Amino acid sequence: MVHPLRETAAVSGIGETAYTRGTPKSGLALQLEASLAAIADAGLSPRDIDGVVPYFPGGGIAEDFIANLGLPDLKLSLFVPMGGATCVAAIQSAAMAVASGVCNHVLIAVGRTGYSGARVSTRLQQFPQFALAAEFEAPIGMFAPAQLYAQGARRHMALYGTTTRHFAEVAVVTRQHAILNGNVVMNKPLTVEEHHASRMISDPFRLFDCSLESDGGAAVIVSRTDRARDLRKPLVTIMGVAEGHPESPASIAQRPDLLEFGLAKAAPRAYDMAGVGPRDIDVAEIYDCFTFTVINQLELLGFCKKGEGGPFVMDGRIGLGGELPINTHGGLLSQGHVVGLNHVIELTRQLRREAGRAQVKDAEVGLVTGYGDMGDGSIAILRRAA
Amino acid sequence: MSTTPVAAPTSERPLPIPTRESQPYWDGMREGRLMLQHCAGCGKVRHYPRPVCPHCFSMESTFKKAPTGGTIHTWTVCHHPFNFFFKASAPYIVALVDMDAGVRVNAPLRGVNEADLKIGKRVRLDFEPVNKEVTLPFFVSD
C-alpha cells in the first residue's frame, strides 16, 4: 500500500541569507530575511503562509512571524526540539499539516547568530534536552557536542579501523564543493595535510572535523503538492520523510550502542514511504556537524555496511562525479551552520537543476538528513517531479 | 560589521544541580560511595536516575551501593576547553566506562598515558570533593 504521505507535499520555496562570521543583524532578522526570500522564491505572498515551524532556540517564535509578516490567519505553530535533526523532522510535521488540510503553506525557518551571538559553549545550556549532560557530564569536563560525539568516533576507530584520513576526506571533499558555491564562509581549498595539522579539539576531532560557528538564516516552504504544482519553481515532491529517536535519547553515554542512533530507525521508514532504496539516490546532503557523523550516517542510511563508512568515503566516491555526491553546497563544515536547513535548500536546488557549478547531472532523487541533540535523526527523500 | 563574539564562555566551574530523582546519587558521591538506582519492582539498575522504570513501569526504587570497577568502553582527550574553567587541566582524558554494576559512567581518567588507552582496560572509580556539597567521580587504572 502506498503511504498516505508519499508525495502529497512538496518543497515549494527556498531562501537563505549570506552565510558569514559576523553580522549586525539579530537572529530574528536573519530568519525573517530568509523567510521573505523563500516566499518570493515560491511566488507566494507572506499572507499565504498559514503554518510556521521556527527553529528554537535562536531567532523568533510564531508571534514574531505574525507581527512581522502580517500573517492574517496562522493555523499552526510548532517547535520541533530535536537540535540538528529539527529542520528535516519539521518537514515531516509540515507535510502532515498540509496533507491533512490543516495548512496550505508551512514555513520552516532558522535564524542563527552562532558566531556573533552565543557560542556553542553557552548556547546549549538553553536546551532542555541537554539537562542530563549539564548535570552529569559538564561537571567532569564533557559538555560540547565535539566532546560528547568524539567518544563514539573513537570507538568506531577502535572497532572498525576507521582513521582520521577518512575524516579528512569528508572535510576536503566538502570544501571542494563549497568553493563552487558563491555563498560560503570557507572558500579556500583545504588539503589532507592541513586537516591533519589543524589543532586538536577533542580527540579524535581536530578543528577541521568540526562544523562552523557562523551567522545566517535559512527558510523552506512546504506546500500541498497540488498547490505547489502551480507555483513558480519546478515541482520537488517529498517522497518519504521520517524522524527517529534513539535509545537513551538524552545521554549518549548510557546508549547501548553509541553508533546506533535515531537515523537507524528513521531511514528504513523513509525509504519505505518513498518506495526507493539507497541505490536510487543520486545526491545526498548529510548533516555534517562533524566529519565522522557523516561516515556514521552513511552506514545507517544503508550506503555501506556498519563499520565500512570510512573506506566508503574514499576514492572520489562522495565528490561530484562520484557514485554518491554528498554535501554539494559545502555543508555545515564549510558553507555555514544553519542547523542543516541549508542541506534541504541545496537538495531542492539540485533537483530543480539550479545548483550551478555543483550540479549533479540528471539528479532525480536525493536525500537529506538531520542529526541532533544526543542522536535524534531525521531524513527526507525528495524527487524532481516537474 | 561586528565580528566580536558578544557572549564569552563562562569561567565558572559547572557543577551539578541535583534533582529530586538524582539527589541520592550525589549524596552517595559526597560520602564516597557509588549509589545506583534499582527498580523496586523488577530489580533492574538504571542510570541516570529517573522516576519510572522503563522495563516494568514501577515508580518505586531504592539506591544501593555499587562496586566501583569497570572497563573502558571508549574515551576522548579534551584539548579545547569549551568552558574556561577546564583550560588549566587540558588536555585531559575522559573515559566512558562500562561499570561492573551494569551502567556506564563518564569521568576523567587520571594517571594513565594516552598511548595506554584501549577498550576493555580495567579502571576503578574514585571520588574527588569539590566543595562541601559536591563530590565528582574520576577514574584511575585498576
Predicted confidence pLDDT, tens digits, chain B (142 residues): 334 444 444 568 899 999 999 999 999 999 999 999 999 999 999 999 999 999 999 999 999 999 999 999 999 999 998 888 899 999 999 999 999 999 999 999 999 999 999 999 999 999 999 999 999 999 999 9
How confident is the model at residue B6, as a pLDDT? 43
| Of A78, A73, A88, residue with least CA distance to A11 | A88
Query: What is the CATH classification number for the domain harbouring B92?
Result: 2.40.50
Query: Global pTM?
Result: 0.96
Contact A150, B76 (CB under 8 A): yes
Is B56 in the same domain as B73?
no
Grid look-up 566506562 returns B97
Q: For chain B, how many structural domains are there in total?
A: 2
Is B71 in the same domain as B140?
yes
Is the confidence at residue A184, as pLDDT, over 50? yes
How confident is the model at residue B12, as a pLDDT? 80
Q: Over chain A, what is the mean pLDDT?
A: 96
Which member of B16, B103, B106 has the closest CB to residue A142?
B106
Asked, for residue B29, whether it belongs to a domain, the answer is: yes
Q: What is the mean pLDDT of residues A51-69?
A: 95
Q: State whether the Cα torsion A254-A341-A276-A99 is positive or negative.
A: positive
How confident is the model at residue B11, as a pLDDT? 64
Is B82 in the same domain as B129?
yes
A138 interface with B at CB cutoff 8 Å: yes
How confident is the model at residue A26, as a pLDDT? 95
Angle of CA points A173, A286, A322, to nearest 5°: 45
Is B31 in the same domain as B98?
no
Distance between the two ends of chain B, CA-based, in angstroms?
55
Is B90 in the same domain as B136?
yes
Give me the residue spans of the domains in chain A.
9-117+211-384
- DSSP label at B7? B
Strands of the B61-66 sheet, one edge to the other: B45-46, B34-39, B61-66
- Which 3 state secondary structure label does DSSP give B98? strand
Q: Last residue of some domain: B34, B51, B66? A: B66
| Of A153, A90, A122, residue with least CA distance to A295 | A153
Q: Last residue of some domain: B46, B66, B86? A: B66
Q: What is the least distance, in Å, from the CA of A324 to any CA of chain B? A: 31
Asked, for residue B3, whether it belongs to a domain, the answer is: no
For the domain spanning A9-117+211-384, the CATH number is 3.40.47.10
A135 interface with B at CB cutoff 8 Å: yes
Which member of A20, A122, A202 has the closest CB to residue B80?
A202
- Per-residue pLDDT of A273-297, as tens digits, reads 999 999 999 999 999 999 999 999 9
Is B84 in the same domain as B141?
yes
3-state SS of chain A is: CCCCCCCCEEEEEEEECCCECCCCCCHHHHHHHHHHHHHHHHCCCHHHCCEEEECCCCCCCHHHHHHHHCCCCCCEECCCCCHHHHHHHHHHHHHHHHHCCCCCEEEEEEEEECCCCECHHHHHHHCHHHHHHHHHHHHHCCCCHHHHHHHHHHHHHHHHCCCHHHHHHHHHHHHHHHHCCCCCCCCCCCCHHHHHHCCEEEECEEHHHECCCCEEEEEEEEEEHHHHCCCCCCCEEEEEEEEECCCCCCCCCCCCCCCCCHHHHHHHHHHHHHCCCHHHCCEEECCCCEHHHHHHHHHHCCCCCCCCHHHHCCCCCCCCCCCCCECCCCHHHHHCCCCCHHHHHHHHHHHHCCCHHHCCCCCCEEEEEEEECCCEEEEEEEEECC
Asked, for residue B80, whether it belongs to a domain, the answer is: yes
Is A140 in contact with B94 (Cβ distance < 8 A)?
yes
Q: Last residue of some domain: B66, B91, B121? A: B66
Cα distance between residue B46 and residue B25, in whole Å: 12
Identify the closest residue of chain B to A138 by CA–CA distance.
Answer: B14
Is B24 in the same domain as B76?
no
Is B83 in the same domain as B58?
no
Is A139 in contact with B48 (Cβ distance < 8 A)?
no
Length of chain A: 386
Contact A90, A379 (CB under 8 A): no
Q: Which domain holds residue B37?
A: 20-66
B5: chain A residues, CB-CB within 8 Å: 115-117, 119
Asked, for residue B6, whether it belongs to a domain, the answer is: no
Contact A86, A97 (CB under 8 A): no
- Which 3 state secondary structure label does DSSP give B83? coil
Contact B106, B76 (CB under 8 A): no
**Complex ipTM above 0.90?**
yes
Is B82 in the same domain as B51?
no
